[in-house]
Amino acid sequence: MNRREILLNRMNVLESQGMGCVGCPGTCCTFEANSMLITPLEANELFNYLKEENLLTSELKSKLQACVTQYRLEPKYINSKRSYLRKTYTCPFFNHHELGCPLPREIKPYGCLAFDSHHVELKASEHCYSETDILERRELLHPEEKEMNLRLISEFNLQWEKSPIPNALIEFWEKSNL
């Protein structure tokens, strides 16, 4: 089973009822509502996708670094481990070259896929929210991810379990020697 399948199915159900993201200004991707943290597994998948698609450009790296600086996403150190306080930031992929997010659903972070509209007409308000129950169900369906994340933490010598998207990608980029 695809690790995003339950999330994609839920999105399809909502879209079939007219409650998709079409017509939304994308507030959930901006500093107004976004505080997305991703796991090493999600970061690795996203990094590999960007690499395969030849999207690891100096422009993207600059954009990632600017995002970290602008929104002060530097990690805090607690007991020699990095910890990321949940801070809001505009996703570096939002409005990258087109309106919305250019990342395909099959690669988007789980939390992005679970943040859905629940109203036919009103978008970008209290009618959009994260469906944490479906995220929890997704996690129960994929207990193998815990071991996969631990392997990546060890392999890349990561000091975090979850990180903001730009920080995670920068670290994978640096540790991949590209």
Q: What is the pLDDT of residues 120-177, one digit of tens each?
A: 666 566 678 888 999 999 999 999 999 999 999 999 999 889 999 999 999 999 998 7
- Residues forming beta bridges with residue 129, ordered by sequence position: 116
With a CB cutoff of 8 Å and minimum separation 6, the contacts of 31 are 71, 88, 89, 90
CA triplet 165, 137, 43: central angle to 5 degrees?
Answer: 20
With a CB cutoff of 8 Å and minimum separation 6, the contacts of 29 are 90, 91, 93, 94, 100, 101, 112
pLDDT in tens, 56-77: 999 999 999 999 999 999 877 6
Q: How confident is the model at residue 138, as a pLDDT?
A: 95
- Model confidence at 116, in pLDDT bands (50, 70, 90)? confident
Query: Tokens at residue 108, please?
Result: 């988007």
